[in-house]
Structure 1
Amino acid sequence: MCNSNVKTAGVAQIDGRPVLQPAGNRVAAPEGAKPLKKSLQKSLSMPASYDNAAAAAATACTAAPKSTGAGEFARAAAATPYLLPPTPAKAAGAKAAGGRTAASTGADKSRKQAPRKSGAVLPVVTFAALEAFELAGPAGSIAAAQREHVTQAQAQRKMRIAHYGRTASFSRVEGKVGATATAPATATAALEEKRCSFITAYSDPVYVAYHDEEWGVPVHDDELLFEMLTLSGVQVGADWASILRRRHIYREAFSGFDVDAVAKYTEKQMASVSAGYGLDLGTIRGAVNNACRILEVRRDFGSFGKYVWGFVNHKPLSPGYKYSRKIPVKTSKSESISKDMVRRGFRFVGPTVLHSFMQAVGLTNDHLVSCPRHRVCSSSSSSA
């Protein structure tokens, strides 16, 4: 009896003998390979641009002579862009944007229709291969230049760490280099001898001229001493620049600071001066009182100058300050002079006012030692 399944069976040759086997055990013909599914072909296929780039790279590599080194190969590879298949994110974005364009669709169709040559191997240049060529590149290549740059940067960083805290700041170094590079030797010497630090580029020209010509110069004339004593008292609560700009007004109001003339001012004259020149009446009365006290000092000491300079043994004091913040507003000497003048009946002669008066008439040389006027005032006091 025959089974119905025998119909599906077949005869196969095993070791030269016919053997009855089911249809599922048939051996496939070696020459007739099954074609791949369309979905698998589509997933394994590359874009047309990638095929063209790879073919161009292959042509450049084959066209180069054998004597060409690794540098030529790197340049040929650099001329060809490294194209990779689109990532899933890019594919999803393209799908969301509306799919492929008509040009890309036509390129896919032409690629499917074009037959592939069996045995053709496309050269693929990867990033790992390029990095290997760069690392092994000869001297003078881009990789060698990059390594040299990194080495120099590391050496400079080590030098900065080693010399940290030993060099001047950039701003000071830049200022010194700019000054020495652009200015001659005479200008450099002038920069080294700066004025007192309270004289800046924004200071009033009147105040700068007063600093360069009068401040700290020894004064022995009674009229000028009386003028500076009056201006020092008025300067309380104001600045020297505003007082110096109104100096000519004070000179006219007080008759050129003539001690004898001011001492004879009556109450009516003082009111007239106050109204005519816009000065405070108390200031005018104080100046008239001080003029009367100076006349008394003249009778005792011969002159007001001898009386004042007697407190410093007729020789100006020279503290030798290096920084303006070290200059005090009053000293023990100004306090002693103030006490004696208050005892004699002077007005507006507190310790601070007296110290300002001493600086103005040269009783103390408070110019900074770096200021050129410090030496000038010292030499003028020695010659006097």
Structure 2
Amino acid sequence: MCSSKSKFVQPTDANAKATQSAIMVSDINGRPVLQPATSNRGLTRSSHKKNLPLAKSITKFPVPPPPKQKQPAGKQGGNDQCTAAKTVIPGNKLKKSMSTHDSNTSPSSLVVKYSSVAIVNAPGSIAAAWRQQVAVMQVHRKTKIAHYGRSVKSAKNDSSLVNSNVTEEKRCSFITPYSDPIYVAYHDEEWGVPVHVDKLLFELLVLTGAQVGSDWTSVLNKRQLFREAFSGFEAETVSEFTDMKITTSSSSYGIDIGFIRGVVDNSKCILKIKNEFGSFNKYIWGFVNHKPIVPNYKVNQKMPVKTSKSEAISKDMVRRGFRQVGPTAIHSFMQAAGLTNDHLTTCSRHSICAALVRRDPRPSSTVI
């Protein structure tokens, strides 16, 4: 059995007197052992856990604060220096003010508070950079406003010129300032002009067939391509196209092979009509009694996509073996070939096309 003798150790410092009741040293087998003042015998598990913080506190002795140094009269202490450093601005001055602190001063007592005015006015701060950026943006904005002012004036001058040109020469409402120039030229020079040449009628028949599902601008841009692919729209030459020629033309000019076969079949039908009526011109103009139809449309919305006359022509051409000649395509063909003068009454081309008919009302096989 080991014998234990307990005795209290007298504190050597005034700050350690508070721990007198909590510190006890026992001699166990001739060795001093530090133990709590109260015995832990008979304690429950819960009470033992409650005493754990006390045991931890016993092993850590309080650290006495550093001794205060006397400052000469007329000089501020460490705390006063910290107070004076509260209003310093960030930068090199802050480093100088921090270096003036006493080396023995606790770091936790150093509290630096920046002034909002000092931060905003600092030359290297984020606010200063933002002010400089805003100033540059304002300069660019003023430049843009001045540029827009000049462009607006020039736009007004350009619009006045455009308006003056529009008042001089009016067109149909479907011709806008954004229309393609090739489409505008087609409207001003060809659309609605009576055509009595078989080759030109065959060309317009092919173009209107290609225009279905597309637009006139795209078709007019490929007009020269169609002329090369179909040998200048000579019906006799196109009717002799073989399967090899059709396949080669389709791959060379990028035209659908089914559309080329339809054009070849139409050329054969035109040759039959020439043998029966003498010319394709007499056959097609016979449906309107060799005189253009003048509906006198005032608004573009009143213009139909097909008429009873186009349905009659389409029905007869289908009966003769023509392909791609629906009522809508035939109505577009009649407008292009001048069989109907669908220019609006407000368009300057309306009266011009009507004058061409009055000048030579009888059909012929030559160009008009």
- Residues 1:206 and 2:192 aligned together: no
Q: Which secondary structure state, in structure 2, belongs to the residue aligned with residue 265 of structure 1?
A: coil
Please give the alpha-carbon distance, in whole angstroms, between the structure 2 residues aligned to 1:368 and 1:256: 32
Aligned-partner residue type, residue 279 of structure 2 = S
- Residues 1:277 and 2:253 aligned together: yes
Name the structure 2 match of 1:383. 359
Name the structure 1 match of 2:235. 259
Unpaired stretches in structure 2, ≥5 consecutive residues: 1-155, 361-368
Aligned-partner residue type, residue 254 of structure 2 = G
Aligned-partner residue type, residue 354 of structure 2 = S
Please give the alpha-carbon distance, in whole angstroms, between the structure 2 residues aligned to 1:314 and 1:245: 31
Name the structure 1 match of 2:244. 268
- Equivalent residues of 1:317, 1:363 under 8 A apart: yes
Name the structure 2 match of 1:97. none
- By how many angstroms is 1:189 displaced? 9.1
Match 2:324 to one of 348, 357, 367 = 348
Name the structure 1 match of 2:205. 229
Equivalence map 1:242-253=2 (5 Å):
242-253=218-229
Name the structure 1 match of 2:111. none
TM-score by length of 1: 0.51
Please give the alpha-carbon distance, in whole angstroms, between the structure 2 residues aligned to 1:215 and 1:243: 14
Report the count of equivalent residues.
Answer: 204
- By how many angstroms is 1:194 displaced? 1.4
Identity of aligned residues (%): 60
Match 2:312 to one of 327, 333, 336 = 336
For residues 119-174 of structure 1, give each alpha carbon's deviation from its aligned partner in whole angstroms, at most 9, with x where no partner exists: xxxxxxxxxxxxxxxxxxxxxxxxxxxxxxxxxxxxxxxxxxxxxxxxxxxxxxxx
For residues 164-223 of structure 1, give each alpha carbon's deviation from its aligned partner in whole angstroms, at most 9, with x where no partner exists: xxxxxxxxxxxxxx99xx78xxx8696165100000000000000000000000000000
Q: Which secondary structure state, in structure 1, belongs to the residue aligned with residue 214 of structure 2?
A: coil
Please give the alpha-carbon distance, in whole angstroms, between the structure 1 residues aligned to 2:335 and 2:288: 13
- By how many angstroms is 1:381 displaced? 1.6
Change beyond 3 A, Cα 1:206–1:193: closer
Aligned-partner residue type, residue 334 of structure 2 = M
Q: Which secondary structure state, in structure 2, belongs to the residue aligned with residue 321 of structure 1?
A: coil
- Equivalent residues of 1:193, 1:370 under 8 A apart: no
Moved segments of 4+, more than 2 Å: 187-190
Name the structure 1 match of 2:195. 219
Match 1:300 to one of 260, 269, 276 = 276
Q: Which secondary structure state, in structure 2, belongs to the residue aligned with residue 237 of structure 1?
A: coil
Aligned-partner residue type, residue 242 of structure 1 = S
Please give the alpha-carbon distance, in whole angstroms, between the structure 2 residues aligned to 1:251 and 1:275: 16
TM-score by length of 2: 0.53
- Residues 1:364 and 2:340 aligned together: yes
Unpaired stretches in structure 1, ≥5 consecutive residues: 1-177
Match 2:301 to one of 308, 325, 334 = 325
Q: Which secondary structure state, in structure 1, belongs to the residue aligned with residue 343 of structure 2?
A: coil
Name the structure 2 match of 1:311. 287
Aligned-partner residue type, residue 221 of structure 1 = V
Q: Which secondary structure state, in structure 1, belongs to the residue aligned with residue 265 of structure 2?
A: helix
- By how many angstroms is 1:383 displaced? 1.7
Please give the alpha-carbon distance, in whole angstroms, between the structure 2 residues aligned to 1:208 and 1:243: 13
For residues 288-318 of structure 1, give each alpha carbon's deviation from its aligned partner in whole angstroms, at most 9, with x where no partner exists: 0000000000011100000000000000000
Aligned-partner residue type, residue 216 of structure 1 = G
